[in-house]
Structure 1
Amino acid sequence: MAAQRLVTALRLVTARRLVAVGLAAAALVAVSAAVPTAPQAAAAQGVLWVSGNEFRDPSGCYHGNYLPLVVKNRTNRFAVVYDGTDCRGSVVSTVGPASDQVHEFGMSVRIE
């Protein structure tokens, strides 16, 4: 008789836990569906010059024609200068909008 009560009690606890887990999962799905997703990033607006190359409304990784790397940023975004090609390696500097910088060790520039 006691064993039967114990089994019944365990079933009741297990059922309550399953309901609680199900409700929590449903709440998580509802909240994640209600949260708007971030809009996709658009290209920077303006002109970016990288050591002699001009890029209008740039987006991505760019290289110059010569060293040191000369960056003239006339966009609405920050440009990130890397010491490696293909925007790899360490970040050397960040060039803000309406700014010019010269980088002896810069090799490539990323702007989004």
Structure 2
Amino acid sequence: MIAQIRPSQLAAWLESVKEFGSPAVLDVREPCELQMASIKAEGFELITIPMGVIPARLHELNPSQPLACLCHHGARSMQVAYFLKARGFNHLANIAGGINAWSAEVDPTVPRY
């Protein structure tokens, strides 16, 4: 099962998976979306790989590293989380509501689009 966490719950999830390795947020939005709005990596590594190139760049990800997937609203990131789960990644979460919810719950300075 892939955990569904709200942006406001990310810190607790990161803490809960530290025993498995240094956790990261995998932002799967397109480069143009990243230019419009991005999160600050505070207490975690931020990895940015667009959803469409995840298969070709899978070798850049560590299957044992805990990953919380992020997109605009949570649908693309959930698809990526299922894709990674099917390829042996074990410690996954989907950030439900995506960066849109991040702006509302965590950092209102992050633009909404």
| Bigger relative contact order (CA 8 A; separation at least 6) | 2
Q: Which bracket does the TM-score occupy, shorter chain normalised?
A: under 0.3
Larger helix proportion of the pair: 2
Larger strand proportion of the pair: 1
Larger radius of gyration: 1
Q: Could you state the TM-score of these two structures normalised by the residue count of structure 1?
A: 0.25
